[in-house]
Amino acid sequence: MSDYLPPLTALRAFDAAARHMSFAKAAAELHVTPAALSFQIKSLEEHLGRPLFHRLNRAVELTETGRTLAPGAADGFATLQAAWRAVSRQGDDTSLTVTAGPALTAKWLAPRLYEFARAHPEIDLKFSATLRIIDLERDDVDVAIRFGEGADKGLYSVPVRREWLTPVMTPELARQFTTPESLRDAPLIHDASIRFLTPPSDWPAWFRAVGIAHTPTHGAEFSNADHAIDAAVAGVGVALGRRAMILKDLTEGTLVAPFKTAIETKGRFRFLCLSGAENRPQIAAFRDWFLAEIEKTAHISDEFDIIPVEDLSAA
C-alpha cells in the first residue's frame, strides 16, 4: 500500500458515509448520486487494499479498518475547514464576530454597541453571548471577551482593569440599611458565577474589608451575574455587584452604592483574538472602541476605597 494519500474526494465520501452510516444520506450531503459515492469509497478501498464498510441489506457498518480511519478523517476535514474559514476571514474587512459572556453582554456591551455601530457602519457586527470555550482557530469567531485570571498563551491578549465589587441596592433599601453593620440583617444576594476566583471575592471578604466578622448563611443565589443585579433592581435584596455589571444601573439611579468600600478581585476582562489578527481593520477598530469605552467610566473607581482581595485575611 502506498503512503501517498488518496484523492480528497474519496476521503470526503468516506467521512460523510462514516458519519451518517448511510451511503444515501452521505450522497445527499455531498450532492452526488449514491452510485458516485459508492464508486469513490470503492476506489478508496482498492487504494487501501481492504474494505472499509460491511455492506448489509439495508445498512452499512464500519469494518475495523474503517473504525480506525474514521476519527482521523473527521479531524482532518475539521482542521481543513477551520483553516479555510480562517483564511477567508483574513480577506474580509467588513464583518466581525464577537463573543462575550451573557452578563457582560446584557449589562455593559449591549447598551453601548450602538455607538460602535454608528461610528463604523461599514462593519457587519455579529454577537454571540456565551461562556462556552471558544477555539478562535476553529470557530467562526474573530474576538472573544473573557473574564478570569488565566493566561492566554498563543493569543493576542489585552487585559483591562481588574474588577471590583461593592454592595448595591435600590434607593428604598438604602434608606433601610444605612451602615455596613446593618447589612448583617439585610437580605443578601449571592453571585455564584465568580466562585472560581481565588482568593474568593464574596460577601465574607467584603465584610472583612469593612472590619466586620460575618459569614452570611442565607440569601438568594444566582449563577449569572446579570440575574443577581436584576434581582437587586427588583428589590429582592442587596447584591455584591461587579463594576462592569452595575455601571448602567448606578448611572440611571435604579441602584445605589452607599458604602464606598470595594474589594478588587484578581480577575479581569481580556480582549482576545488570534495572534496577528489584531491588525485587521475591524478587529483593531473594535479593540480601540472597547478600551476607550472602559476608560470613559474609569473615574467611577475614584469614588471608592478599593482593597485588593488578596490583602484581606480569611482568619
pLDDT attached to residue 133: 80
Is the pLDDT assigned to residue 193 strictly greater than 70?
yes
Cell of 69: 480511519
**Beta strands at 155-168 and 238-242: parallel, antiparallel or unpaired:** antiparallel
pLDDT attached to residue 314: 62
Q: Span 274-279, mean pLDDT?
A: 91
pLDDT attached to residue 79: 80
Q: Span 66-87, mean pLDDT?
A: 84
Q: Span 272-287, mean pLDDT?
A: 93
pTM confidence score: 0.71
pLDDT attached to residue 88: 66
pLDDT attached to residue 84: 74
| 122/4: higher pLDDT | 122
pLDDT attached to residue 92: 60
Q: How far apart are CA 169 and CA 259, in angstroms?
A: 11
Is the pLDDT assigned to residue 137 strictly greater than 90?
no
What is the Cβ-side half-sphere exposure of residue 44, based on CA atoms within 13 angstroms?
25
Task: Name the amino acid, one letter, at 102.
Answer: P
Q: Residues near 275 by Cβ (< 8 Å), separated by ≥ 6?
A: 154, 155, 156
Is the pLDDT assigned to residue 128 strictly greater than 60?
yes
| Of 99-103, 146-150, 178-182, the least confident | 146-150
243-263 pLDDT, tens digit each: 999 999 999 999 999 999 999
33-49 pLDDT, tens digit each: 999 999 999 999 998 99
**Between helices 8-20 and 64-90, what is the axis angle to 10°?**
110
pLDDT attached to residue 5: 80
Is the pLDDT assigned to residue 54 strictly greater than 80?
yes
Is the pLDDT assigned to residue 185 strictly greater than 90?
yes
84-109 pLDDT, tens digit each: 776 666 666 778 999 999 999 999 99
Is the pLDDT assigned to residue 187 strictly greater than 90?
yes
pLDDT attached to residue 2: 56
Is the pLDDT assigned to residue 315 strictly greater than 80?
no
Is the pLDDT assigned to residue 27 strictly greater than 70?
yes
- Site of grid cell 475495523: 64
Number of residues in the chain: 315
Is the pLDDT assigned to residue 178 strictly greater than 60?
yes
